[in-house]
Amino acid sequence: MPDAIAYISRDTDGQLWKKALEAGLGPLDFRTLDGLGDRAGIEVALAWKPPPGLIASFPNLTLIVSLGMGVDHLLADDRLPAGVPIVRIMDAGLVGQMSEYAIYWALRHHRDIDKYAASQRAKQWKPEDFVDTIHRRVGVLGLGTIGQDTASKIAALGFPTAGWSRTQKSLPGIETFHGADGLKRLLAQSDILINVLPLTRDTRGILNAEAFAALPRGAYLINMARGGHVVDEALLVALDSGQLSGAALDVFNTEPLPPDHPYWTHPAVHVTPHIAGATNPRTASPGVIENIRRMRAGEPLIHTVDPATGY
The total of structural domains in the chain comes to 2
Q: CA triplet 183, 166, 219: central angle to 5 degrees?
A: 30
Whether residues 251 and 114 fall in one domain: yes
Q: Is residue 304 part of a domain?
A: no
Q: Is residue 302 part of a domain?
A: no
User: Can you give the pTM of this predicted structure?
Assistant: 0.94
Q: Is residue 310 part of a domain?
A: no
Whether 274 sits among the annotated catalytic residues: the reply is: yes
**pLDDT in the model for residue 12:** 80
Whether residues 101 and 159 fall in one domain: yes
Helix 15-25 crosses helix 281-297 at what angle (to 10 degrees)?
50
- Name the nearest CA neighbour of 63 among 311, 301, 310: 301
Whether residues 8 and 112 fall in one domain: no
Whether residues 103 and 252 fall in one domain: yes
Number of Cβ atoms within 10 Å of the Cβ of 280: 17
Q: Is residue 16 part of a domain?
A: yes
**pLDDT in the model for residue 149:** 98
pLDDT tens digit at each of 311 positions of the chain: 689 999 999 888 899 999 999 999 999 999 999 999 999 999 999 999 999 999 999 999 999 999 999 999 999 999 999 999 999 999 999 999 999 999 999 999 999 999 999 999 999 999 999 999 999 999 999 999 999 999 999 999 999 999 999 999 999 999 999 999 999 999 999 999 999 999 999 999 999 999 999 999 999 999 999 999 999 999 999 999 999 999 999 999 999 999 999 999 999 999 999 999 999 999 999 999 999 999 999 999 999 999 988 88
Q: Which of 73, 185, 261, 274 is catalytic?
A: 274
Residue type, 194: I
For residue 243, the domain's CATH number is: 3.40.50.720
**pLDDT in the model for residue 1:** 66
Helix 92-110 crosses helix 145-156 at what angle (to 10 degrees)?
40
Q: Is residue 303 part of a domain?
A: no
Q: Which of 137, 166, 226, 229 is catalytic?
A: 226
Q: Is residue 212 part of a domain?
A: yes
Domain of residue 257 covers 93-271
Number of Cβ atoms within 10 Å of the Cβ of 38: 9
Whether residues 283 and 164 fall in one domain: no
Whether residues 81 and 100 fall in one domain: no
Whether residues 80 and 110 fall in one domain: no
Q: Is residue 165 part of a domain?
A: yes
Whether residues 86 and 191 fall in one domain: no
**pLDDT in the model for residue 183:** 98
**pLDDT in the model for residue 156:** 98
Distance between CA atoms of residues 232 and 269, nearest Å: 12
Whether residues 87 and 97 fall in one domain: no
Distance between CA atoms of residues 41 and 147, nearest Å: 38
Q: Is residue 308 part of a domain?
A: no
Whether residues 113 and 232 fall in one domain: yes
**pLDDT in the model for residue 11:** 82
Whether residues 101 and 27 fall in one domain: no
